[in-house]
Chain A
Amino acid sequence: MTNILLQAKHLVKTYSQRSGKFGFGTSLVRALDDVSIELKAGKTLAVVGESGSGKSTLARCLLQLQALDSGEVLFAGQDLAKLDSTALRQVRKNLQMVFQDPFASLNPRMRVGEIVAEGLVIHGLGNTAEQQAKVIAMLKRVGLSESDMQKYPHEFSGGQRQRIGIARALVLSPKVVVCDEPVSALDVSIQAQILLLLKELQAEMALSYLFISHDLRVVRHIADDIVVMHQGKVVEQGQVEVVYQRPQHPYTQNLLAAIPGKRALSA
């Protein structure tokens, strides 16, 4: 039996939005509408959908960065929504995130060494020397060097910054990493490098990825399972090969048909 590491049950999240003339009215937007997912240990679960489908809201709600209206998020058997802030902080070590925009997600005033070490400092893991050693080892693992610790984020290219973001997330040896469109801001050649790095690290560190993406070509390469979201609802989920070969829901069929290059190649 496969081990389910992170489980979300019946998540609901609504936003109120101003509407009508001059924004006097309000309307409710259901960003998550009864969403249930399961992330298996050591596997990659891709969440795909178009803008506004609720996939980023799902990521934030899973990590408790945003309060849910209802539903529960179980990590290793614990309901995260019921934990107090101290207990939640303990659990957060195991739940890390890699963001989409490598330009906006790194503090421009901090040196790379400080950025990567920050999690270790906050969680009080090891003394200063041990933290330094961990940071150096992690930077080297993602393809950067020890001397990069003294540099600021602006001195790096987009792909290198994404490597810094990955080092920051992985230095705490988490169990689950939520990757929110980690390669969509990158050139296709850099994208391939980062995807391969993520795959290698997954095998080495026994990571489970929740991989959010709108690019079905990328998902096909990295994911084991897939969840397709549309307007806050899960319309289809299953193993990647099965869903790609025999999509059941018309929306999934539509998405797969819209992959650029597909029409031309099949013609």
Chain B
Amino acid sequence: MNSLAPLLQLQNISIAPKNAADRLLVKQVSFSILPGKTTCVVGESGSGKSLTALSIMGLLSKQLRLTSGQVLFNDGESGVQDLTHLDDSSMRKIRGAKIAMIFQEPMTSLNPVLTVGYQIGESLTTHLGLKGPALQSKIASLLSMVGIPENRANSYPDELSGGQRQRVMIAMSIACEPCLLIADEPTTALDVTVQAQILTLLDELKTRMNMGMLFITHDFGVVADIADQVVVMFRGEIVEAGSKQQVLTNPQHPYTKALLACVPDAEGKKPLQPIDYAWLAENKSLTHMQSQEQA
């Protein structure tokens, strides 16, 4: 099983504000993503899960800095590259073409004055040089792949529903057939039934295109639906990592246990239990109980 080389390996990633290098927002984070598999990063707001994702893309805001670590990317063509040391123009060739990203808010991530067809076509022209009828037919096939009628290519984002906009975002992100897709809470703003459809779509595309997926969420229900591997983050650190089965059914770290205990279950059988942060802080030595299974 382990013959698959990891697509992406994060090694000891640390992020801090530029003017306070000792105040680490993300501490020594390491995990890997295999082709055709989904790694879910779970945590509360402020746990550093989105920063970790942005650091892969080299999209950290100017006030932040990567203080240590490597992002090793292996697309199987150009060998292993450390993305943290690439210059801007080589990074631009990877972004959108080999690594693509979907964001939480489909309303704010689309340009309101351009048709969705144009926005999907943009990366095809930039990265693959497609033009004219070839471009149009590729746009049409992408739209139908994500379940939107092809004639919608001339629609503007405001003419689409929230779920359709997120489908457009997905069409944009898979346009150049990336080997890695980063999805940052892509279904949080959506209704439950639409969420279920989008999760199914992402899972299908992942399998069909053999993409690796990094999926950021705070919802353990979503994790149960979509993950292969799970990474739990708390205050900038990984507290537990392992297979979905292991983390969800047999959590080792007290924070993971606490976080799972405060998720309401659909059967209403188990009592809700809020997290006792004071107790967690006292038992600081408990952090870094990584399970062995993670490759």
B42 nearest in chain A by CB position: A188
Contact B275 A189 (CB under 8 A): yes
Asked if residues B218 and A220 are in contact (CB atoms below 8 Å), the reply is no
Listed residue (B222, B223, B274) with the most chain A CB atoms within 10 angstroms of its CB: B274
Flag if B192 contacts A216 (CB, 8 Å): yes
Query: Would A193 and B274 count as touching, CB distance under 8 A?
Result: yes
Q: A50-B192, A220-B264 are in contact. Are A264 and B225 (CB under 8 A)?
A: yes
A195 within 8 A of B: yes
The chain A residues found within 8 Å of chain B, CB to CB, are 50-51, 187-193, 195-196, 214-218, 220-221, 240-241, 244, 254-265
B: residues with CB less than 8 A from A are 44-45, 162, 191-196, 199, 218-225, 258-259, 262-268, 272-275
Contacts of B268 in A (CB 8 A): 220-221, 240-241, 244
A188 with B225: in contact, given A254-B193, A260-B199 (CB under 8 Å)?
no
Alpha-carbon distance between A122 and B224 when the two chains are bound, in angstroms: 49
B-side contacts of A262, CB under 8 Å: 221, 266
Smallest Cβ-Cβ distance to B270: which chain A residue: A221
A192-B274, A193-B274, A196-B272 are contacts. A259–B192 as well, Cβ < 8 Å?
Answer: yes
Least CB distance, B47 to chain A, in whole angstroms? 9
Residue among B192, B219, B259 making CB contact with A214, cutoff 8 Å? B192
Q: How far is the CA of A192 from the CA of B191 in the complex (A)?
A: 21
Known interface pairs A50-B191, A189-B44, A189-B274. Does A260 touch B224 (Cβ–Cβ under 8 Å)? yes
**A to B CB contacts below 8 Å, 21 in the list:** A50-B193, A51-B191, A187-B45, A188-B259, A189-B258, A192-B274, A195-B264, A195-B272, A196-B272, A216-B266, A221-B264, A221-B272, A257-B196, A258-B193, A258-B196, A260-B192, A260-B199, A260-B222, A260-B225, A261-B222, A263-B196
A188 touches B263 (CB 8 A): yes
> Complex formed: what's the CA distance from A193 to B262 in Å?
9
A188 touches B219 (CB 8 A): yes
List B contacts of A189 (CB < 8 A). Answer: 44, 258-259, 262, 274-275
For B267, the chain A residues whose CB sits under 8 A away are 220, 244
CB distance from B194 to the nearest CB of A (A): 8
The total of Cβ contacts below 8 Å across the A-B interface reads 95
Across the two chains, which residue of chain A brings its CB closest to B259?
Answer: A189
In the complex, chain B residues whose CB is within 8 Å of the CB of A244 = 266-268
- A209 CB → nearest B CB, Å: 16
On chain B, the residues within 8 Å of A191 by CB distance are 262
**Cβ A188 vs Cβ B262 within 8 A:** yes
Residue of A nearest to B191 (CB): A50
Which of chain A's residues has its CB closest to B200's CB? Answer: A263
Nearest CB in chain A: distance from B36 CB, A = 18
A253: shortest Cβ distance to chain B, in Å? 11
Given contacts A244-B268, A263-B196, 12 further A-B contacts (CB under 8 A): A50-B191, A50-B194, A188-B262, A191-B262, A217-B263, A218-B264, A254-B193, A258-B195, A259-B221, A262-B266, A264-B224, A265-B224
Task: Report the 5 A-B pairs with minimum CB-CB distance, sorted nearest first.
Answer: A260-B221, A261-B221, A192-B262, A261-B224, A220-B268
Query: Beyond A189-B258, A259-B221, is A217–B266 a contact (Cβ under 8 Å)?
Result: yes
Nearest B residue to A194 via CB reads: B274
Whether B196 lies near A260 (C-beta < 8 A) is yes
Residues A187 and B192 in contact in the complex (CB < 8 Å), given A192-B262, A192-B273, A221-B272: no
Q: Note all chain B residues with C-beta closer than 8 A to A193.
A: 274
Instruction: Determine whether the beta carbon of A260 is less than 8 Å from that of B195.
Output: yes
Question: Which B residues are in CB contact (< 8 Å) with A265?
Answer: 224
B274 touches A187 (CB 8 A): no
Q: Give the chain A neighbours of B224 by CB distance below 8 A.
A: 260-261, 264-265
Give the shortest distance, in Å, between A47 (CB) and chain B (any CB): 15
Cα A264 to Cα B199 in complex, Å, equals 12
Chain A residues near B266 (CB-CB < 8 A): 216-217, 220, 244, 256, 259, 261-262
Instruction: Pick from A190, A192, A261: contact of B220, CB below 8 A.
Output: A261
Query: How far is it, in angstroms, between the C-alpha of A220 and the C-alpha of B267 when the chains are bound?
Result: 7
- For the complex, give the distance between the alpha carbons of A265 and B162 in Å: 27
Bound Cα distance from A265 to B223, whole angstroms: 11
- CB-defined contacts of B219 to chain A, threshold 8 Å: 188, 260
Please report the C-alpha to C-alpha distance between residue A217 and residue B269 in the assembled complex, in whole angstroms: 11
Residues of chain A lying within 8 A (CB to CB) of residue B264: 192, 195, 215, 217-218, 220-221
Query: With A192-B262, A240-B268 as given contacts, are A263 and B225 in contact (CB-CB < 8 Å)?
Result: yes
- Residue in chain B with minimal CB distance to A254: B193
